Chains A and B, each alone.
Chain A
Amino acid sequence: MSNNLAAGQKIKIRDIFADGVYRFNPITVQVLGICSALAVTNRVDNAVVMGGALIFVTAFSSLLVSILRKSIPLRIRMIVEVAIIATFVILFDQFLKAYAWNMSKQLGPYVGLIITNCIVMGRAEAFATQNTPLTSMFDGIANGIGYSIVLILVALVREIIGSGTLNIFGTQILTLLDIGYTKNLLFVLAPGAFFTAGFIIWGVNAITNTKEDANE
């Protein structure tokens, strides 16, 4: 009996990860949480920290919302969820201010804006209110990972094209400047973010659409 349950749960968790990371990726498929995704992707470092923050916040807010799901009155559900999310965002923000002041300066208001990030709210509202705590937490982590992957992808493109170098946490991994590459500043600035994200969503749609066409 217990074996069955464990096996059943395993499949479910794999499904959850497939949904969050790939099939219903929050950014490319559902187009949620774009604000922060675009603003912090001028450098890979920022994208990594932001992705980590989102994984942390979605995981724990989904967990907590799910634990409390039977005791939260329906009418004030939203405001309770916002309060829970804000608590975890504040925790992360304080942690960042204490241990990584420069990073906190660079991310500016965008850490605080995780509160209004539709992904976190969406998972709490759509998934955590109907599922058990652990499953909800895995769902939060899966969506956080899906978000982070796209974020890091956008940041890689923007940093390499925009500044011609790739620095990850102080180590230089790649530089194109020696071989005569000219920096394309457009990619560091706002339009580059829109173009990169647009092309990535286009690419993902093209791949999934051809699969659907083949299935039909």
Chain B
Amino acid sequence: MSSTPLLVILVGSIFTNNIIFASFLGMCSFMAVSDKIDTAIGLGSAVTFVMVATTAINYLVYHYILVPLGLEFISYIIFIAVIAAFVQFVEMFVERFSPGLYIALGIFLPLITVNCAILGVSLFMVLRNYNFLQSTVFGLGGGLGWTLAIMLMAGLREKMGYSNVPRPLKGAAVIMLVTGVLAMAFMGFSGIINL
């Protein structure tokens, strides 16, 4: 078991090892949805919630079902099934009990199943040998880090609407370059904590 303190994992996964700027996870939806701050916050909170819950569930499934049965090799398929089932469940639950929240979050939920950040956090949790609490905190930190990244990007893109970007650079290319600059800024945090 890893003995990294919880606070270190939390700060580390938000700043020094940000899931987008250092691990490149969740780029697809990051590029597609980061054009308005409101949408970015909506998707970010949905991702954070699902990430915390699925990391915890996947931890329990992995250590109490798969490992005793010697089935670690099918963990990928189990993890993705847990994530898909959980997202589906949350969607139905929210639709039934909180229509307001459903309208706010509903459109983002299907997107989350194929967000590689969610699966990535579960896989990292196994590779780094975290215990249950550490895994949950890591899920929280990963989600918050992702939300922070997508919000920063959305803010920049709202401003970028007023600037004159050369035509071939428009779209994906300029987002990549701006993300590169942001990643450099986040490298300033490295050295504070080693995850």
Is residue A59 within 8 Å, beta carbon to beta carbon, of the partner chain?
A: no
CB-CB under 8 A for A205 and B23, given A109-B123, A115-B76, A195-B177:
no
> Which A residues are in CB contact (< 8 Å) with B77?
83, 86-87, 90
| Residues A34 and B31 in contact, CB atoms below 8 Å apart | yes
User: Which of A142-150, A160-168, A196-204 lies at the interface?
Assistant: A196-204
| Residues A194 and B176 in contact, CB atoms below 8 Å apart | yes
Is residue B180 within 8 Å, beta carbon to beta carbon, of the partner chain?
A: yes
> Which A residues are in CB contact (< 8 Å) with B116?
35-36, 113, 116-117
| Residues B24 and A38 in contact, CB atoms below 8 Å apart | yes
Considering only residues 159-194 of chain B, those with a C-beta below 8 Å from chain A are 167-177, 179-181, 183-184, 187
Is residue B28 within 8 Å, beta carbon to beta carbon, of the partner chain?
A: yes
| Residues A190 and B27 in contact, CB atoms below 8 Å apart | no
Separation in Å of the B192 CB from the closest CB of chain A? Answer: 16
Is residue A21 within 8 Å, beta carbon to beta carbon, of the partner chain?
A: no
Separation in Å of the A38 CB from the closest CB of chain B? Answer: 4
We find that the number of chain B residues with CB closer than 8 angstroms to chain A is 42
Closest A residue by C-beta to B118: A116
CB-CB under 8 A for A90 and B73, given A108-B127, A189-B187:
yes
Separation of A113 and B117 alpha carbons in the complex (Å): 9
> Which A residues are in CB contact (< 8 Å) with B167?
205, 209
Encode A74-111 as 1/0 by CB contact (under 8 A) with B. Answer: 00001100110011011001100000000000001100
> Which B residues are in CB contact (< 8 Å) with A186?
184
Is residue B120 within 8 Å, beta carbon to beta carbon, of the partner chain?
A: yes
Separation of A89 and B78 alpha carbons in the complex (Å): 13
| Residues A121 and B114 in contact, CB atoms below 8 Å apart | yes
Separation in Å of the B2 CB from the closest CB of chain A? Answer: 15
Is residue B22 within 8 Å, beta carbon to beta carbon, of the partner chain?
A: yes
Separation of A10 and B176 alpha carbons in the complex (Å): 37
Encode A121-136 as 1/0 by CB contact (under 8 A) with B. Answer: 1000000000000000
Identify which of B24, B73, B74, B114 contacts A116 (C-beta below 8 A): B114
Encode A5-25 as 1/0 by CB contact (under 8 A) with B. Answer: 000000000000000000000
Separation of A33 and B173 alpha carbons in the complex (Å): 15
Main secondary structure of the interface of B (DSSP, over half): helix
Separation of A90 and B80 alpha carbons in the complex (Å): 12
| Residues A113 and B123 in contact, CB atoms below 8 Å apart | yes
Is residue B39 within 8 Å, beta carbon to beta carbon, of the partner chain?
A: no
> Which B residues are in CB contact (< 8 Å) with A197?
176
Considering only residues 138-175 of chain B, those with a C-beta below 8 Å from chain A are 167-175
Identify which of A90, A113, A121, A190 contacts B21 (C-beta below 8 A): A190
Encode A201-213 as 1/0 by CB contact (under 8 A) with B. Answer: 1100110010000
| Residues B28 and A34 in contact, CB atoms below 8 Å apart | yes
Separation in Å of the A108 CB from the closest CB of chain B? Answer: 6
Separation of A78 and B43 alpha carbons in the complex (Å): 21
Separation in Å of the A208 CB from the closest CB of chain B? Answer: 8
| Residues A31 and B172 in contact, CB atoms below 8 Å apart | yes
Is residue B105 within 8 Å, beta carbon to beta carbon, of the partner chain?
A: no
| Residues B173 and A191 in contact, CB atoms below 8 Å apart | no
14 CB contacts below 8 A, A to B, read A31-B171, A31-B172, A86-B80, A113-B116, A113-B119, A113-B123, A116-B116, A121-B114, A186-B184, A191-B183, A194-B180, A202-B177, A205-B170, A205-B171
Chain A residues within 8 Å of B, Cβ to Cβ: 31-36, 38-39, 78-79, 82-83, 86-87, 89-90, 93-94, 108-109, 112-113, 115-118, 121, 186, 189-195, 197-199, 201-202, 205-206, 209
Chain B residues within 8 Å of A, Cβ to Cβ: 21-28, 31, 73-74, 76-77, 80-81, 84, 114-116, 118-120, 123-124, 127, 167-177, 179-181, 183-184, 187
List of 4 A-B pairs having minimum Cβ-Cβ separation, nearest first: A198-B176, A194-B180, A109-B123, A206-B168
